[in-house]
C-alpha cells in the first residue's frame, strides 16, 4: 500500500498526529447512493474511544466526527446519501497534554518508534507519539464504518471481533458467546475469562506494567470469489491490513501458525453438497475461509497479536538523540493493554479490505459470480 493510503478501489487515506489540532481521513471510491450519517460512524468510534474503563488510557477524547464532503441529501427523502466522490471525515483533538512528553523529546523510548522515525526522517513529532500514535486508528474505525455500509449495500457481510487472549490468558473457546462481547470492557466472548482478565489487568496497571493480546476477527456472509491471485490474495491484503495496526507482530488466517503442525488429512476442509444451493457445505474451516487467495463462502477468520504497550513506568535503559545513555520511564496516560481497543480497529480493517475486494471483484468479473454448481454438458 502506498504511504498513508490503503486500498485500491475503496481507498482510505489518513492524516494527523496525536497532538495536532485535527485528525482525518479521505474515503475515496465509495459507491454512490449509500445512506451515511454521522451516527453510522460515531457508534464504532465510541467502541474504540479511550477513557471508557479503567483498563484503557484516561485521555478524554469525545472523537466527535464530522463528514465534510461526499454526501448529499436525497431529493425526495432528505436522507443523506453518498455521492461517489471523496468522503472526508474530521475529528478535532481536544485533550492533548503535550507537556507530559517533555522528556521524550530527546529520549528514545524502548519499543516505540522514536529512534526509527529520527533515523528515517531526521525529525519527528514527539508530542504524544505524533504520527506513530495509535490515535491514527480512530480514522481507521471511522473509515471502516463506511466500509461496513458498502458491505451491507449488496452482499450481507457481518463482521465481529473479539479479544481471545490477554497476556498469557486465553479464552475457553467452548464458552464463546457472541452476546458477551459487548457486555465487558474487553470485547471478550467468554464471560468467565472476562472476570479473570479484570483482576489480571488491575495488577498489570497497578504495577505500571503492560501486556499483549490476541484479537480475532470473523467475517460472515462473504460470498465465494472475492480476492484474487497472486499478490492481491485476500489473505495477503488482510495480513497487510492487520500488520499495519500499531504494535501488531503476527497475523494468522484460519489455523495460522499452528497449521504447520497438522497433517494433510487433518488440514483438508472436506466438502459436501449443500442443501441450500449457496455453495458447497464445508465440514471444517482450517483455511479460514480463503483458498488460493480467494474467498470460499465460509466465514473468514483472522487473528493478530498485539505486543505489550511500550509505555511503562519501570525504567528501561536507552539512548537519547544525541547518543547519550539514559534511563526512560514513560509517564503520560497509556493503555495497559492496547489490544483491547484494537478490537474495533481490527474489525474496521477487515471491513476496509473486504469492501475493496468486493469492488475489485465486481470490476473484473461483474455481478454474476457464484455460478456453482455448473450445468453438466449434454452428451448425445
Q: Which residues from 83-142 bind a second copy, rule CB under 8 A?
A: 83-88, 90, 105, 108, 110-113, 115-125, 130-132, 136
The region of 55-63, 141-149, 179-187, 246-254 touching a second copy under the rule CB under 8 A is 246-254
Q: At closest approach, how far in Å is the CB of 270 from a second copy? A: 4
Residue from 104, 193, 201, 287 that binds a second copy (CB under 8 A)? 287
Determine if 172 is a binding residue for a second copy (CB under 8 A): no
Q: Which is nearer to a second copy, 99 or 179 (CB)?
A: 99
Q: Which three cell numbers stand for residue 151?
A: 458491505
Residues 182-221 that bind a second copy (CB under 8 A): 204, 209-214
127 labeled part of a ligand binding site = no
310 labeled part of a ligand binding site = yes
d(C-alpha 304, C-alpha 165), whole Å: 10
Q: At closest approach, how far in Å is the CB of 91 from a second copy? A: 11
d(C-alpha 96, C-alpha 81), whole Å: 34
Crossing angle of helices 137-153 and 342-365, rounded to 10°: 40
Provide DSSP, 279-301: S-EES--TTTTEETTEE-SSPEE
Site string for a second copy, 24-63 (x = CB under 8 A): x-x-xxxxxx------------------------------
* Cα-trace Rg, the chain: 22
d(C-alpha 65, C-alpha 45), whole Å: 8
Total residues binding a second copy (CB under 8 A): 173
Distances in whole angstroms, Cα of residue 39 to Cα of each of 35, 72, 74, 341: 11, 15, 17, 20
The region of 35-43, 52-60, 94-102, 371-379 touching a second copy under the rule CB under 8 A is 371-379
Contact between 221 and 148 under an 8 Å Cβ cutoff? The reply is no
336 labeled part of a ligand binding site = no
| Long-range contacts formed by 360-366: CB under 8 A, 24+ apart | 360/8, 360/9, 360/228, 360/232, 361/225, 361/226, 361/227, 361/228, 363/9, 364/228, 365/225
Determine if 348 is a binding residue for a second copy (CB under 8 A): no
Determine if 239 is a binding residue for a second copy (CB under 8 A): yes
Residue 130: other Cβ atoms inside 10 A: 21
257: DSSP letter: G
247 labeled part of a ligand binding site = yes
Q: Which is nearer to a second copy, 90 or 179 (CB)?
A: 90
Q: Which is nearer to a second copy, 28 or 179 (CB)?
A: 28
Residue from 35, 185, 221, 279 that binds a second copy (CB under 8 A)? 279
194 labeled part of a ligand binding site = no
Q: At closest approach, how far in Å is the CB of 14 from a second copy? A: 6
In the chain the first and final C-alpha atoms are separated, in Å, by: 53
Residue from 62, 250, 299, 332 that binds a second copy (CB under 8 A)? 250
Q: Which residue in 306, 36, 12, 8 sits closest to 138, CA to CA?
A: 12
d(C-alpha 342, C-alpha 129), whole Å: 17
Determine if 238 is a binding residue for a second copy (CB under 8 A): yes
- Residues in binding site for FMN: 131-133, 246-247, 292, 307-311, 333
Please give the annotated binding residues, written as ranges.
48, 54, 131-133, 246-247, 292, 307-311, 333
Amino acid at each position: 500500500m502506498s504511504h498513508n493510503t490503503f486500498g485500491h478501489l475503496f481507498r482510505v487515506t489518513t492524516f494527523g498526529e496525536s497532538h495536532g489540532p485535527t485528525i482525518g481521513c479521505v474515503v475515496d471510491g465509495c459507491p454512490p447512493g449509500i445512506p451515511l450519517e454521522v451516527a453510522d460512524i460515531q457508534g464504532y468510534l465510541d467502541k474504540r474511544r479511550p477513557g471508557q474503563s479503567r483498563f484503557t488510557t484516561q485521555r478524554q477524547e469525545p472523537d466527535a466526527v464530522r463528514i465534510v464532503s461526499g454526501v448529499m441529501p436525497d431529493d425526495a427523502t432528505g436522507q443523506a446519501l453518498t455521492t461517489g466522490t471523496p468522503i472526508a471525515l474530521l475529528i478535532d483533538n481536544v485533550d492533548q497534554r503535550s507537556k507530559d512528553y517533555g522528556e521524550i523529546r530527546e529520549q528514545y523510548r524502548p519499543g516505540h518508534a522514536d529512534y526509527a522515525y529520527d533515523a528515517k526522517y531526521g525529525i519527528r513529532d514527539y508530542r504524544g507519539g505524533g504520527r506513530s500514535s495509535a490515535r491514527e486508528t480512530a480514522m481507521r474505525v471511522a473509515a471502516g464504518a463506511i466500509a461496513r455500509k458498502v458491505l451491507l449495500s449488496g452482499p450481507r457481510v457481518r463482521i465481529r471481533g473479539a479479544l481471545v487472549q490477554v497476556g498469557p490468558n486465553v479464552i475457553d473457546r467452548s464458552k464463546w458467546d457472541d452476546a458477551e462481547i459487548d457486555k465487558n470492557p474487553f470485547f471478550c466472548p467468554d464471560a468467565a475469562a472476562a472476570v479473570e482478565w479484570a483482576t489480571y489487568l488491575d495488577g498489570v496497571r497497578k504495577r505500571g506494567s503492560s501486556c499483549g493480546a490476541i484479537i480475532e476477527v470473523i467475517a460472515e456472509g462473504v460470498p465465494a470469489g472475492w480476492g484474487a491471485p497472486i499478490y492481491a490474495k485476500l489473505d495477503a491484503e488482510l495480513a497487510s491490513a492487520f500488520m499495519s495496526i500499531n504494535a501488531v507482530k503476527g497475523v494468522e488466517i484460519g489455523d495460522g501458525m499452528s497449521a504447520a503442525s497438522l497433517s494433510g488429512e487433518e488440514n483438508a476442509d472436506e466438502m459436501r453438497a449443500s442443501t441450500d444451493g449457496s455453495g458447497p457445505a464445508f465440514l471444517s474451516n482450517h483455511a479460514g475461509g480463503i483458498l488460493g487467495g480467494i474467498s470460499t463462502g465460509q466465514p473468514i477468520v483472522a487473528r493478530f497479536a498485539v505486543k505489550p504497550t511500550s509505555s511503562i513506568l519501570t525504567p528501561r535503559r536507552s539512548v537519547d538523540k544525541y547518543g547519550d545513555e539514559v534511563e526512560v520511564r514513560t509517564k503520560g496516560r497509556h493503555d495497559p493493554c492496547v489490544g483491547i481497543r484494537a478490537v474495533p480497529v481490527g474489525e474496521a480493517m477487515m471491513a476496509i479490505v473486504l469492501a475493496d475486494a468486493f469492488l475489485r471483484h465486481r470490476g473484473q468479473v461483474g455481478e454474476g459470480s457464484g455460478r456453482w454448481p455448473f450445468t453438466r454438458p449434454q452428451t448425445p
